[in-house]
Amino acid sequence: MLLRLGAVLAGAALLGACQLETKSAKQYGYRGTGMDQITLAAASKKIDPINVVPPPPYDPPKPGGRPAKEAYQNVQVLGDISEDEFSYTMAAITQWIAPEQGCNYCHNPANMASDEIYTKKVARRMLQMTRKINTGWTQHVKQTGVTCYTCHRGQAVPTENWALPAKGNPDTILGNKHGQNAPMVSTAYSSLPNAAFAKYLFDANSSNIRVQSKYSHPSPLDKTSVMDTEGTYSLMMHTSSALGVNCTFCHNTDSFQAWNRSTPKRVGAWYGYRMVRDINGEYIGTLASVFPKHRLGPQGDPLKVNCTTCHRGINKPLGGVSMVKDYPALRPTGPMITAAAAPAPAVPAAAATKMP
C-alpha cells in the first residue's frame, strides 16, 4: 500500500513538472511546419512587477508657453519644449531612474545649470539617444516607442547590461579559455563563446550575423567557419531568452537562412540588432571618459545594452504598452535641438579580432 502511494505521489510530481496546464498556440508560419508559439494560459495572465508601467507624475501640461531654453540655463537637449513640459518630463525621469535620490542625482541643488555631476552629462546623452530611437529607429520600435523607463525600471543603472569580458592569462590553460567554457546567462549557461555581444552588438563596425554557408567546401564563396557559427548561435540563444520566444518566432525551420520563408518578425530583429549597435557605439560608447571607474567594465568600457535590457523576457517590452505617448518631449515631431554628438569610439582590439 505504501509503495503504491509512493508511486502515485512520484507520478504526480513528475506530471506537475510537465506543466499540464491550458495552453494557447498561435501559428506564425506555413501550415505543417510546426511554426507555432506555445504560451501557458496562466503565464499570459500573470502580472510581472518588473513590467508594470508607472503612471505619469501628474497630468500632462497643456501645449504652449515659454521655451525651456529661455526659462532655464544650459538646456542643451530639451530646449525646444515648453517650460511646463520640461518640468513634467524631468519629474518623470526622476521617477524612472532615481526615485530615492531625486533631482540631486544629476543636479547640484545650489546651481541646477552646473554640469559638475557626471550623471547630468550622461542623462543629456541618453535623452539624445531616446529621441533618436523614437524618430530614427521606428523600423524596430514602431509607434510604441521607448522612454528611459523601458531600460531603467526605477534603477539608476539598468540591471541587464554587459561589458567586454576580462582578459584571461594567455600563458595558462585555465586562464585562457578563448572566450568559451564559462557558463553564463548570456550564453544560455553553455560553453558557447561569451564574446558574441562584443562581436555583433558593439557598434556600427560590428560583424554581420551569419550562420549558414551555401556550399559544402571552403571557397571564396564559403567563408563561414564553425567558430563563426558558434558565435552567432550564442547571440541567437540570448535573443530567444531575452524575448521569451523560440526560433520559429523569426525563422522557418524549413530554411533558417531564407528570408522569403521567414516571419516578418525577423525583419524587426534585423533592425533591432542595428539599433543596439547604434546605442552602444554612438551614445553609450562616447561616454567612456565621462563615467567614473566604478561604472566601467573590466576593460574600461561603459556598461552597454543588449536585447534583455528592454525586453526582460517578453517579446514586446512592457507588454507593448506605449509610454512615450504621454511624453511628447521624447519623440519630437519637428527638428531636434540637441548638443553636438561626439564621434563613436574605435573598436577595442579585443572586439575587433576574430574569435579563436
Identify the pLDDT of residue 121: 97
Q: Which residue has the higher pLDDT, 287 or 6?
A: 287
Tell me what the mean pLDDT of segment 151-167 comes to: 92
Q: Does the pLDDT at position 340 exceed 60?
A: no
Q: Does the pLDDT at position 17 exceed 50?
A: no
Tell me what the mean pLDDT of segment 248-260 comes to: 86
Q: What pLDDT, in 10s, does the model give residues 272-330? A: 999 999 999 999 999 999 999 999 999 999 999 999 999 998 999 999 999 999 999 99
Tell me what the mean pLDDT of segment 60-70 comes to: 94
Identify the pLDDT of residue 246: 84
Q: Would you list the DSSP string of 8-59?
A: HHHHHHHHHHTT-S-EEEEE-S-TTTT-EEEEEHHHHH---GGGPPPPPSSP
Q: Provide the mean pLDDT of the chain.
A: 82
**Percent of the chain predicted with pLDDT > 90:** 53
Identify the pLDDT of residue 52: 83
Dihedrals phi, psi of 92, to nearest 5 degrees: -70, -45
142: phi > 0 → left, psi -120 to 50 → alpha, else beta; which? Answer: left
Identify the pLDDT of residue 300: 95
- What the block records as the C-alpha cell of 222 is 564559403
Q: How far is CA 282 from CA 38, 88, 224, 257, 343, in A?
A: 37, 27, 28, 29, 7
- What the block records as the C-alpha cell of 298 is 573590466
Q: Which residue has the higher pLDDT, 27 or 123?
A: 123
User: 184 CB contacts (<8 Å, ≥6 apart)?
Assistant: 194
